[in-house]
Amino acid sequence: MAQTATPLRIAHRGMPRLARENTLASFRLALEAGAEGIELDVHTTADGVIVVHHDPALAGGLAIRDLTYAAFHQTAPDAPTLREVCDVVGSRAELFVELKGAGIEHVVANELTGYDGVSAIHSFDHVAIRRLHASGVALRLGVLFDGGEDGLNVMDQCGARDLWPHFSLVTRDLVTGVHARGGRVIPWTVNDAADAARLGDLGVDGLCTDDVRMLKRS
């Protein structure tokens, strides 16, 4: 896989410095700022609706998986569904969906299979990614890691094509190893221009950031 000359600018949950993360307002701001990728977190409600939210519980400790969508929406009215985000993003950017809820991988994959835009699924839950790969899903899969394991081995074991390391873990050897597998390296969360420049020089394929305005095109 030929690496891109400049990494994709990926908005981490939108533009959290300007609007509440994981909301349509935040995603729209990111697109307007030039994001070429939108990264978000998903859970499912008790009645099977895929919602965009980082934590497994709402304020007051209400677990999302125990709430109907109506109850979820009443408590968190600005938290969109995945379908609503798909409608906003469309073909304007690649959609990167992080699995947060347990055992929701196939529901999410089914939702994205009918999406006309470019999308991919990633997670710290490597077993979930492995299950998706074993099922033969056509979507691009990725694994997150923050040290304590060999990222290349994790990719191989899970059938992943994207590796999402913490930015401090990226080395030229890691990038070379991922590219040799036809994969992409997408470090998170890059909020310093010097770090972005260093990672770009190493040949990463995307930069996940809280503020895409920092990642200026040359």
Domain of 147, CATH number, reads: 3.20.20.190
pLDDT given for residue 17 in this prediction: 96
208 within a domain of the structure (yes/no): yes
20 within a domain of the structure (yes/no): yes
Report the DSSP beta bridge partners of residue 81. 51
Q: What is the mean pLDDT of the chain?
A: 96
pLDDT given for residue 2 in this prediction: 42
Number of structural domains found in the chain: 1
User: Are 72 and 95 within 8 A, CB to CB?
Assistant: no
Strand, helix or coil at 213?
helix
1 within a domain of the structure (yes/no): no
Task: pLDDT band for 5, please (50, 70, 90 cuts).
Answer: low
Nearest-angstrom CA–CA distance, 211 and 192: 10
102 within a domain of the structure (yes/no): yes
Percent of the chain at pLDDT exceeding 90: 93
Kind and range of the H or E element at 110? helix 105-113
Looking at residues 180-187, what average pLDDT do you find? 98
- The pTM (predicted TM-score) of the whole model is 0.96
Domain that holds residue 76: 8-214
Looking at residues 22-45, what average pLDDT do you find? 98
Residue with the two structure tokens 């349509």: 24
User: Are 95 and 117 within 8 A, CB to CB?
Assistant: yes
User: Are 181 and 189 within 8 A, CB to CB?
Assistant: no
56 within a domain of the structure (yes/no): yes
3 within a domain of the structure (yes/no): no
Strand, helix or coil at 29?
helix
User: Are 85 and 52 within 8 A, CB to CB?
Assistant: yes
Which letter does DSSP use for residue 181 in this model? T
pLDDT above 90 for 132: yes
Looking at residues 74-88, what average pLDDT do you find? 98
Task: pLDDT band for 107, please (50, 70, 90 cuts).
Answer: very high
Task: pLDDT band for 1, please (50, 70, 90 cuts).
Answer: very low
58 within a domain of the structure (yes/no): yes
pLDDT given for residue 3 in this prediction: 47
pLDDT given for residue 218 in this prediction: 54
Looking at residues 117-137, what average pLDDT do you find? 98
pLDDT given for residue 44 in this prediction: 98
Looking at residues 80-104, what average pLDDT do you find? 98
pLDDT given for residue 216 in this prediction: 77
pLDDT above 80 for 152: yes
pLDDT above 80 for 30: yes
